[in-house]
Structure 1
């Protein structure tokens, strides 16, 4: 038997004001998108803003459905729209803000497993990492320079 150790490195900012202005603007767009979430069941609203290499910013918010698993997360809403509208564009950065409508969410909320897999698909497709920035409603912001930091044992087309 051989033991394998997997490590990851993330950067943590105390608050959004520590980010460069361009990233503060991207986080602001994610926050605005969060206000458009349709989350009557979970009461958990998420907004995402995706910066493309052509300068476009695509936003998304979570959209729930009474048939609960039929909804879609904010990250995938933005990713799939960007992929459909700008199929040749690379995804550069994604900002995510998430929080409960019932109580303050002060800790950073990373993408769920399904969203991690969707982001990974585009990292593999474009052969370029996507920077991720995520937070709760307020407080610390976490930066990952690649989805690979959040999903190190990636399932991709090479396994098919």
Structure 2
């Protein structure tokens, strides 16, 4: 038997104002996208913004449905739109803001497991890491240099 230790390195900014200007701008797009969330059931709204290597910024927000599995997260809404509209473009950075519409969210909220898997697919496809920044409504912002930091044991096409 052998024990294996898996570690992740993340950067934590104390607040939005500490972000590099380009990231703050991308996060602002995510904030605006969050306002377009359709989340009447969970009361949890999410906005995502992607910076593509062609300079385009793609946004998405979570879209719920009374038949819960039929909804889609903000991250996947943005990723799939980017993949459909700009199939050759690479995703350089992703900004995510999330929180309850009932109470203020101060803790950084990372992508859910399904979104991590979708991000992994695109990171593997493009053969370059995607910087991911995520936050709650206020407070700290977390940066991961790659999806691999937040999903270290990824399931990919090599298993198929």
**TM-score of the aligned structures, taking structure 2 as reference length:** 1.00
Q: Which runs of 5+ in 1 are unaligned?
A: none
Tell me which residue corresponds to 2:23: 23
SS of residue in 2 equivalent to 1:78: helix
1:106-143 Cα deviation digits (max 9, x unpaired): 00000000000000000000000000000000100000
| Whole-angstrom CA distance in 1 between matches of 2:136 and 2:22 | 19
Q: Which runs of 5+ in 2 are unaligned?
A: none
Tell me which residue corresponds to 1:59: 59
Tell me which residue corresponds to 1:149: 149
Flag as ranges the 4+ runs of structure 1 deviating above 6 A: none
Tell me which residue corresponds to 1:114: 114
CA RMSD of aligned residues (A): 0.3
How many residue pairs match? The answer is 160
SS of residue in 2 equivalent to 1:51: strand
Q: State the 1:91 CA deviation.
A: 0.3
Tell me which residue corresponds to 1:76: 76
1:40-77 Cα deviation digits (max 9, x unpaired): 00000000000000000000000000001110000000
| Whole-angstrom CA distance in 1 between matches of 2:41 and 2:118 | 23
Structure 1 position 158 matched with structure 2 position 126: no
Q: State the 1:7 CA deviation.
A: 0.4
SS of residue in 1 equivalent to 2:23: helix
| Whole-angstrom CA distance in 2 between matches of 1:48 and 1:8 | 22
SS of residue in 2 equivalent to 1:17: helix
Tell me which residue corresponds to 2:94: 94
Tell me which residue corresponds to 1:127: 127
Q: State the 1:151 CA deviation.
A: 0.3
| Whole-angstrom CA distance in 2 between matches of 1:129 and 1:31 | 23
